[in-house]
C-alpha cells in the first residue's frame, strides 16, 4: 500500500534553470497539496489541486512557480529560472477529499538545492 511518492528526493539546479518536482498521491486520493519548508521553519502552504483543476493557489509566488495535476499522471510543481532563495524542501500531501476528518498524508519531500 504505497504512500505519497515524490521524486526526485534530491534535486540540484544552477541559478536560471528549471526545476520539476513530481508527486503521485496515495491510491484513491484525488486531492493534492504542495507545501514548502525553508530551513528552521514550518511548512507553508503553496497550492491545492484536484484533477485538472487548481482549487487554491493563494500560497504560490506570483512569478516563476506553477503547478498542475493532469487527468493522467503525477502532479507537477514547476519552478522556472530558479534562484538561491528557492532552496528548500518541497512536500506534497494528498487526501481522498475535503471532508475535515480526512487528514492529509505527506510524502518524504524533494530537497531542492540551488547552486
Partner 1 sequence: AQSVTQLGSHVSVSEGALVLLRCNYSSSVPPYLFWYVQYPNQGLQLLLKYTSAATLVKGINGFEAEFKKSETSFHLTKPSAHMSDAAEYFCAVSATGTASKLTFGTGTRLQVTL
Interacting residues with partner 1 (CB under 8 A): 4, 6, 33, 35, 40-45, 48, 55-56, 58-59, 91, 93, 95, 98, 100-109, 111
Is residue 102 classed as helix, strand or coil in its secondary structure? coil
Nearer to partner 1, 5 or 76 (CB): 5
The residues, ordered by sequence, that sit 6+ positions from 69 with a Cβ below 8 Å of its Cβ are 32, 49, 50, 51, 52, 53, 75, 76
Nearer to partner 1, 55 or 83 (CB): 55
CA 62/CA 71 separation, integer angstroms: 24
Nearer to partner 1, 21 or 107 (CB): 107
Q: From the CB of 24, what's the least distance to partner 1, in Å? A: 13
CA 20/CA 3 separation, integer angstroms: 20
Q: From the CB of 16, what's the least distance to partner 1, in Å? A: 27
Residue 93 backbone dihedrals phi, psi, to 5 degrees = -130, 155
Q: From the CB of 29, what's the least distance to partner 1, in Å? A: 13
Q: From the CB of 37, what's the least distance to partner 1, in Å? A: 9
Amino acid at each position: 500500500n504505497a504512500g505519497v511518492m515524490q521524486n526526485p528526493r534530491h534535486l540540484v539546479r544552477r541559478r536560471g534553470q528549471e526545476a520539476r518536482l513530481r508527486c503521485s498521491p496515495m491510491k484513491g486520493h484525488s486531492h493534492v497539496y504542495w507545501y514548502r519548508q525553508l530551513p528552521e521553519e514550518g511548512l507553508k502552504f503553496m497550492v491545492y489541486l484536484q484533477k485538472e483543476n487548481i482549487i487554491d493557489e493563494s500560497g504560490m509566488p506570483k512569478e516563476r512557480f506553477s503547478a498542475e495535476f493532469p487527468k493522467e499522471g503525477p502532479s507537477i510543481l514547476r519552478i522556472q529560472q530558479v534562484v538561491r532563495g528557492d532552496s528548500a524542501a518541497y512536500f506534497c500531501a494528498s487526501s481522498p477529499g475535503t471532508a475535515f476528518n480526512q487528514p492529509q498524508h505527506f510524502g518524504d519531500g524533494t530537497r531542492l538545492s540551488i547552486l
